[in-house]
C-alpha cells in the first residue's frame, strides 16, 4: 500500500505512457527517468548520468543546453519537436515539453535550507503520428491525382460549404482559375448558373447547397454555366449535368460533399438538332406536318379552356400561289388539310 503523496506520484510517473526525465538544469545530466523513456529509446544501459543533449539529433552541447533552459519560463512550459537517437542509432521523432522546478537539497542538520533547479522533460513519441501524417499525405496526393485525371469537373466541399479542392476541369467548365475557387463558399459562389429556360439559379437551390442542407444526394440537374470573359464570353454557356453526393462522418452525419460537373453541351446540341429536324421538313425547311398538328392541338386545347374563343386556320397553297380559306370545309385530297379542318368549329 502507498503511504505518502510522493509515493503515489512516483507510482503514477512509472506508469505513464510518456517518457519523463529529471534533468540537472545546469548541464542537462539525467538524474532519473521512467520506464516509458527507456522504452522510447530502447536504451541498453541506465541513462542516469548521461547528458540529455547527447541523446538529441543533432547533439546539443552544454552551452546549447543552457540557452535552451533560458527559453523555459519560470511559470509554464516550453514545447518543441526534436529527434532522439535510439540505442541502435535510429531516429525517434518526439515532442519535448520542458518545465523548470526548484527542489530541496539535503543539508546537515541545523544548516540553512537550500534548493537547486532541475528541468522536468516529458517526451511524447511522435513516430505513429508521423506515419499517420505521411499516410494521409500520400492518400491526399493520390486523391488529388485521381481528381485531376477525371474527365469531369470535381470539387470537394467541407461541411461549411468551403471548396477544399477542385480539379482543372472544374475551373475550365466554370471559366475561372482554381485560385479563385479554392476556399470560396458554395453558398456565395464566384460563378453564375442558369436553368434550362435561362433564368439565374439562386445558390440555395443548387445541388451543392441542397445536399449540405438535407444530407441527401442531388443528381443530374441540367444547368448552364455562362462564360466569365476569361476563356468564354457571357453569351457562350456550357450545358452541365450537375450532381452532388454527401460525404458521411463516423456518425453518419454530413461532413461535406463532392460536386461533379459533366459537360453535356454536345448532347444538348444534338438534341436540339433532332428537335429541329422533327419540327421542319428536310427538303423545304418549312414546319413539318407533325409540328403543325402539334401546334394546332395546343391552340385548340387553349381555346377550349376559354369560353367563346375560336381558332382560325389560314392555308396557303405555295405550289399555285393560291390562298384558300376553309373554316368549315374539308378537302379530301389533302390529308394535312383534313387534320387541320377536323379541329375547326362547324
Q: Which pLDDT score is estimated for 317? A: 62
pLDDT digits (tens, 9 = 90+) for 136-173: 677 767 666 776 667 799 999 999 999 998 999 999 99
pLDDT digits (tens, 9 = 90+) for 75-88: 889 999 999 888 88
Return d(Cα 82, Cα 19) in angstroms, integer. 14
SS3 labels along the chain: CCCCHHHHHHHHHHHCCCEEEEEECCCCEEEEECHHHHHHHCCCCCCCCCEHHHHECCCCCHHHHHHHHHCCCCCCCEEEEEEEECCCCCEEEEEEEEEEEEEEECCCCCCCCEEEEEEEEEEEECHHHHHHHHHHHHHHHHHHHHHHHCCCEEEEEECCCEEEEECHHHHHHHCCCHHHCCCCECCCCCCCCECCCCCECCHHHCHHHHHHHHCCCEEEEEEEECCCCCCCCCCCCEEEEEEEEEEECCCCCEEEEEEEEEECHHHHHHHHHHHHHHHECCCCCCECHHHHHHHHHHHHHHHHCCCCCCCCCCEEECCCCEEECCCCCCCCCCHHHHHHHHCCCC
Nearest residue to 238 via CA among 147, 166, 175: 175
Residue of higher predicted confidence among 73 and 138 = 73
Check pLDDT > 60 for residue 330. Answer: no
Return d(Cα 99, Cα 76) in angstroms, integer. 6
Domains 5-125 and 131-268 are alike in CATH topology: yes
Omega before residue 58 within 30° of 0, cis: yes
For residue 42, give every residue at least 6 positions away whose Cβ sits within 8 Å of its Cβ, in sequence order, or none: 86, 87, 88
Q: Contact, 261 vs 153, CB < 8 A? A: yes
pLDDT interval class at 117 (50, 70, 90): very high
Return d(Cα 8, Cα 6) in angstroms, integer. 5
pLDDT interval class at 252 (50, 70, 90): confident
The HSE-up count of residue 168 (CA atoms within 13 Å, CB side) is 6
Domain boundaries, the chain: 5-125, 131-268, 280-342
The HSE-up count of residue 221 (CA atoms within 13 Å, CB side) is 24
Return d(Cα 252, Cα 216) in angstroms, integer. 12
Lowest mean pLDDT among 138-142, 160-164, 208-212, 242-246: 138-142
Give me 255's grid cell.
461532413
Check pLDDT > 60 for residue 285. Answer: yes
The residue whose grid cell reads 443548387 is 206
pTM of the model: 0.48
Return d(Cα 183, Cα 180) in angstroms, integer. 8
For strands 78-85 and 163-166, give the pairing.
unpaired
Domain 131-268 grouped into CATH 3.40.50.620: no
Return d(Cα 304, Cα 73) in angstroms, integer. 91
Residue of higher predicted confidence among 321 and 228 = 228
pLDDT digits (tens, 9 = 90+) for 11-26: 556 667 788 889 999 9
Check pLDDT > 60 for residue 297. Answer: yes
Give me 227's grid cell.
462564360
Return d(Cα 37, Cα 120) in angstroms, integer. 13
Task: Give, in order, the Cα–Cα distances in Å from 286 to each of 267, 279, 342.
Answer: 25, 8, 22
CATH of 5-125, one of 3.30.565.10, 3.30.450.20, 3.40.50.450, 1.10.10.1590: 3.30.450.20
What is the average pLDDT score of the chain? 82
CA 330 to chain centre: 67
Check pLDDT > 80 for residue 341. Answer: no
Check pLDDT > 90 for residue 339. Answer: no
Task: Give, in order, the Cα–Cα distances in Å from 129 to each of 11, 88, 141, 242.
Answer: 27, 21, 18, 38
Amino acid at each position: 500500500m502507498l503511504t505518502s503523496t510522493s509515493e503515489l506520484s512516483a507510482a503514477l510517473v512509472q506508469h505513464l505512457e510518456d517518457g519523463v526525465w529529471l534533468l540537472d538544469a545546469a548541464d542537462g545530466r539525467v538524474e532519473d527517468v521512467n520506464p516509458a523513456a527507456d522504452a522510447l529509446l530502447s536504451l541498453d544501459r541506465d541513462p542516469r548520468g548521461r547528458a540529455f543533449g547527447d541523446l538529441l539529433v543533432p547533439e546539443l552541447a552544454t552551452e546549447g543546453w543552457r540557452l535552451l533552459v533560458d527559453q523555459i519560463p519560470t511559470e509554464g512550459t516550453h514545447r518543441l519537436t526534436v529527434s532522439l537517437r535510439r540505442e541502435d542509432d535510429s531516429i525517434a521523432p518526439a515532442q519535448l515539453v520542458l518545465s523548470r522546478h526548484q527542489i530541496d537539497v539535503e543539508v546537515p542538520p541545523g544548516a540553512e535550507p537550500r534548493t537547486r533547479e532541475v528541468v522536468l522533460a516529458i517526451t511524447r513519441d511522435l513516430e505513429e503520428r508521423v506515419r499517420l501524417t505521411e499516410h494521409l499525405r500520400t492518400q491526399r496526393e493520390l486523391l488529388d491525382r485521381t481528381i485531376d485525371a477525371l474527365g469531369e469537373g470535381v470539387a470537394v466541399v467541407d461541411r461549411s460549404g468551403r471548396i477544399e479542392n477542385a480539379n482543372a476541369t472544374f475551373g475550365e467548365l466554370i471559366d475561372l482559375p482554381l485560385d479563385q475557387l479554392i476556399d470560396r463558399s458554395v453558398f456565395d459562389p464566384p460563378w453564375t448558373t442558369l436553368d434550362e429556360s435561362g433564368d439565374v439559379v439562386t445558390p440555395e437551390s443548387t445541388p451543392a447547397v441542397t445536399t449540405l442542407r438535407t444530407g441527401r444526394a442531388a443528381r443530374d440537374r441540367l444547368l448552364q454555366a455562362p462564360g466569365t470573359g476569361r476563356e468564354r464570353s457571357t453569351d457562350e454557356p456550357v450545358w452541365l449535368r450537375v450532381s452532388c453526393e454527401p460525404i458521411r462522418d463516423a456518425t453518419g452525419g454530413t461532413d461535406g460533399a463532392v460536386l461533379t460537373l459533366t459537360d453535356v453541351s454536345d448532347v444538348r446540341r444534338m438534341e436540339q438538332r433532332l428537335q429541329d429536324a422533327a419540327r421542319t421538313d428536310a427538303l423545304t425547311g418549312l414546319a413539318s406536318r407533325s409540328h403543325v398538328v402539334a401546334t394546332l392541338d395546343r391552340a385548340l386545347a387553349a381555346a377550349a379552356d376559354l369560353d367563346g374563343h375560336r381558332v382560325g386556320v389560314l392555308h396557303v397553297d405555295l405550289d399555285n400561289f393560291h390562298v384558300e380559306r376553309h373554316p368549315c370545309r374539308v378537302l379530301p385530297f389533302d390529308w394535312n388539310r383534313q387534320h387541320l379542318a377536323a379541329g375547326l368549329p362547324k
